[in-house]
């Protein structure tokens, strides 16, 4: 974990309340898909943890949803703005665990960290099926970007206005997969946990204080004891998880 000053080079809407931001600077601390950054915002006490969507040599991409005053402020930032960022946080996904055929399942703003994962898996010659879940057609984003990587992409909407009506768990009955990766709200993660038949990894969303394990406010109980979502997580292996513990 390191503190960096990164410069905004893009901050554009993908939907009515979801934005793509590109930050330029030293991003070498981001080494695995599924890691996150923690952004300091002027006038706000706590930093905002945001998953890394993609990384290049000197920049990274994040995708965030406007849900409160902090993210409302982020949406106003323009090209050239500088942000104080804690970078390289969290453990990330284990790409080596995928086997030959990986299943990626994302819901809402749980979709972005799967993009960098998908890119790495396909670069290694793995077959990847991506299942994306949203509430309605107007909320769908990054479908074409996943397709451009070469993945088999499937979309579900709760109201049936786009793709398959239902949830991500309705999308992969005919898919032969060796391992799964998923990120999204906890009810979706639990449904995936109960539905998928292979081993897998789940990335949890949690309120955080410090973002690097000092405050202990994001601790959760696992089969091997308490773990911090921000430090030992946000990614946990299927066999570690204790629901409702």
Mean pLDDT in each 10-residue stretch from start to end of the chain (245 residues)?
93 98 97 95 92 96 96 97 95 96 96 98 98 98 98 98 97 96 94 95 73 60 73 82 73
What pTM does this model have? 0.93
Residue 64, strand partner residues: 19
H or E segment and range at residue 205: none
Q: CATH 3.40.50.80 in the chain: give the residue spans.
A: 95-204
Task: Name the CATH superfamily, with its identifier, for domain 2-89.
Answer: Translation factors (2.40.30.10)
Structure tokens at 177: 């997969």
At residue 216, the pLDDT reads 55
Structure tokens at 215: 């405050």
Q: CATH 2.40.30.10 in the chain: give the residue spans.
A: 2-89
Query: What is the spatial distance between Cα 102 and Cα 115, in angstroms, rounded to a whole number?
Result: 13
Count the helices and strands in the chain (H runs, E runs): 4, 15
95-204 classified as CATH 3.30.9.90: no
- Which residue has 């709200």 as its token pair? 185
> Is the torsion defined by CA of 131, 134, 140, 142 positive or negative?
negative
Query: What is the spatial distance between Cα 225 and Cα 221, in angstroms, rounded to a whole number?
Result: 6
Would you give the DSSP letter of residue 174? T
Is-contact 142 133, C-beta < 8 A?
no
At residue 226, the pLDDT reads 72
Instruction: For 11-64, write each residue's pLDDT tens digit.
Output: 999 999 999 999 999 999 999 999 999 999 999 988 999 999 999 999 999 999
Query: What is the spatial distance between Cα 77 and Cα 176, in angstroms, rounded to a whole number?
Result: 43
Phi and psi dihedrals of 165, rounded to 5? -75, 125
Separation of first and last alpha carbons in the chain: 29
Query: What is the spatial distance between Cα 180 and Cα 237, in angstroms, rounded to a whole number?
Result: 10
At residue 229, the pLDDT reads 72
Residue ranges with strand state E in 97-176: 101-107, 127-134, 152-157, 164-165
Is-contact 89 35, C-beta < 8 A?
yes
Task: Report long-range pairs for 195-201 (Cβ below 8 Å, ≥24 apart).
Answer: 195/169, 196/103, 196/238, 198/103, 199/97, 199/237, 199/238, 199/239, 200/103, 200/237, 200/238, 201/93, 201/94, 201/97, 201/235, 201/236, 201/237, 201/238
Query: What is the spatial distance between Cα 35 and Cα 50, in angstroms, rounded to a whole number?
Result: 9
Query: Can you give the length of the chain in residues?
Result: 245
């Amino acid at each position: 974990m390191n503190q960096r000053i990164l410069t905004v080079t893009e901050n554009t809407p993908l939907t009515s309340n979801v934005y793509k931001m590109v930050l330029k600077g030293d991003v070498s601390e981001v080494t695995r898909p599924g890691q996150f950054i923690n952004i300091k915002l002027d006038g706000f006490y706590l930093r905002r943890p945001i998953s890394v969507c993609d990384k290049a040599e000197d920049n990274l991409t994040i995708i965030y949803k406007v849900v409160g005053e902090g993210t409302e402020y982020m949406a106003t930032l323009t090209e050239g703005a500088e942000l104080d960022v804690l970078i390289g946080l969290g453990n990330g996904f284990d790409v080596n665990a995928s086997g030959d055929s990986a299943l990626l399942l994302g819901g809402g703003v749980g979709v972005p960290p799967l993009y960098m994962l998908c890119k790495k898996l396909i670069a290694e010659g793995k077959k990847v099926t991506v299942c994306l879940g949203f509430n309605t057609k107007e909320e769908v984003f990054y479908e074409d970007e996943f397709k451009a990587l070469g993945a088999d992409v499937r979309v579900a909407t709760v109201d049936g206005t786009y793709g398959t009506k239902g949830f991500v768990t309705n999308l992969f009955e005919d898919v032969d997969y060796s391992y799964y990766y998923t990120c999204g709200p906890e009810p979706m993660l639990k449904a995936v946990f109960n539905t998928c038949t292979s081993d897998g990894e789940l990335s949890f969303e949690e309120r955080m204080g410090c973002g690097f394990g000092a405050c202990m406010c994001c601790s959760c109980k696992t089969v091997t004891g308490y773990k911090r979502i921000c430090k030992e997580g946000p990614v946990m292996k299927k066999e570690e998880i204790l629901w409702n513990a």
